[in-house]
Amino acid sequence: MLDIKLVRQNPELIRENLRKKFQEDKLPLVDKAAGLDEELRAAIAETDNLRAERNKVSKQIGALMSQGKKAEAEEAKKTVKQNEARLAELEAASERLSGEIREIMMNLPQLIDESVPLGKDDSENVELERFGEPVVPDYEIPYHVDIMESLEGIDLDAARKTSGNGFYYLMGDVARLHSAILSYARDFMIDRGFTYCVPPYMIRAGVVAGVMSFAEMDNMMYKIEGEDLFLIGTSEHSMIGKFIDTITEKTALPRLFTSYSPCFRKEVGAHGIEERGVYRIHQFEKQEMIVVCEPEDSAAWFKKLYMNTVEFFRSLDIPVRALECCSGDLADLKVKSVDVEAWSPRQKKYFEVGSCSNLGDAQARRLAIRIRGTGSGGNYFAHTLNNTVVAPPRMLICFLENNLTKEGRVKIPEPLRMYMGGKAEI
């Protein structure tokens, strides 16, 4: 959420940011916010003046009564009463105006980093670097569900009966591999100094509004009927919410967490839900990384975070690339974002397996996540970042394709074997 001071001081900067994100339809909101802010400041000024006058007159009433000037005291009381009525009007107006301004500011996107490439949608995202050599074997790589079914590791038909499309049963060695990947990801991040955390899987509406845009909320979140609770779409939501309305000492930063959770998503959009597949689904599990840090440190942490994912996949010998999201592909709260994509030998192309985001002070401003300041500067907002370590079962797709042998068996890389009971293949 942007600071209303920016609307007063540099509205053209906000307009230019809207143009870069191809959100010209929101341009009128800048002038509307400025007008409402002017009304609010006028109401606050009048409120302050009336309160000062009320205090002054109240003191005069006491003096007049002690002097026996009852008539004059009664007139003064009428003035106080009139002021009280006007104050009530002004307070109601201030509350209404503050709410309208906040709603507008929450609909204006965060200022994107100057380095973000301009583009309308994900077709204009920019490749940064490739890691590992993509290989296409001289034998056919089946569809990932066919690989799983050949290992008796998935049942989509039963899941459709119990839950509908977008759900699955994982079984046997495939289910064990799924858990092994998550366990390895957990330890991989702990070894990099991140604190492991299992957060709540449901959060209140106020936290949801603090961590994501309204459009994302509508397209992603499942609401618990009759309660002020939503199922999380990623553990980032709970983990950032952990810091709501807090003031952290500078010496305690950065705060580094790697969190595990199941994730639940509506996946609303034109893509739909696959009939046979686990690429885009309503329920999955994920290992995440979260950073709360000083504003001047967030750019460095951004690079470190997505390189953690690159190094995780490379430790399993899976080729990946880093792809920078263009301006039009950035969600409204993001300052900068990089997707990590893994190589698919079957499709002969890369596909997304993780996303790293620097949100600047957007979430911190919404949730009052502050750092204790020194001197006259006062407290200030932290920066928050998040990134996917790994999200099976999507990661299973690239893993199975890159490790499938000609005989139809799946090789288990050395780092995973301790989590697979020592097995070298399945």
Q: What is the pLDDT along the chain (426 residues), one digit of tens a residue?
A: 899 999 999 999 999 999 999 999 999 999 999 999 999 999 999 999 888 877 776 677 667 676 676 677 667 677 777 778 888 989 999 999 999 999 999 999 999 999 999 999 999 999 999 999 999 999 999 999 999 999 999 999 999 999 998 999 999 999 999 999 999 999 999 999 999 999 999 999 999 999 988 777 778 899 999 999 999 999 999 999 999 999 999 999 999 999 999 999 998 654 555 667 898 899 999 999 999 999 999 999 999 999 999 999 999 999 999 999 999 999 999 999 999 999 999 999 999 999 999 999 999 999 999 999 987 779 999 999 999 999 998 899 999 999 999 999 999 999 999 999 999 999
Determine the pLDDT at residue 272. 52
Determine the pLDDT at residue 292. 98
Token pair belonging to 20 = 């870069």
What's the rounded Cα separation, in Å, for the pair 314 and 355? 16
pTM above the 0.85 mark? yes
What secondary structure letter does DSSP report for 327? Answer: G
Determine the pLDDT at residue 274. 60
CATH of 122-417, one of 3.30.590.20, 3.10.20.30, 3.30.390.50, 3.30.930.10: 3.30.930.10
Determine the pLDDT at residue 270. 40
Determine the pLDDT at residue 259. 98
What's the rounded Cα separation, in Å, for the pair 95 and 87? 12
What's the rounded Cα separation, in Å, for the pair 357 and 194? 17
CATH of 4-107, one of 1.10.760.10, 2.60.120.460, 1.10.287.40, 1.10.10.10: 1.10.287.40
Q: In the chain, what are the domain boundaries?
A: 4-107, 122-417
Determine the pLDDT at residue 71. 73
Where is 205: in which H helix or E strand?
helix 205-211
**b/e map of 153-188 (b: 16 or more CB within 10 Å)?**
bbebeebeeeeebbbbebeebbebbbebbbbbbbeb
Determine the pLDDT at residue 331. 93
What's the rounded Cα separation, in Å, for the pair 415 and 383? 33
Q: Which amino acid is at 304?
A: K
Token pair belonging to 321 = 């690339």
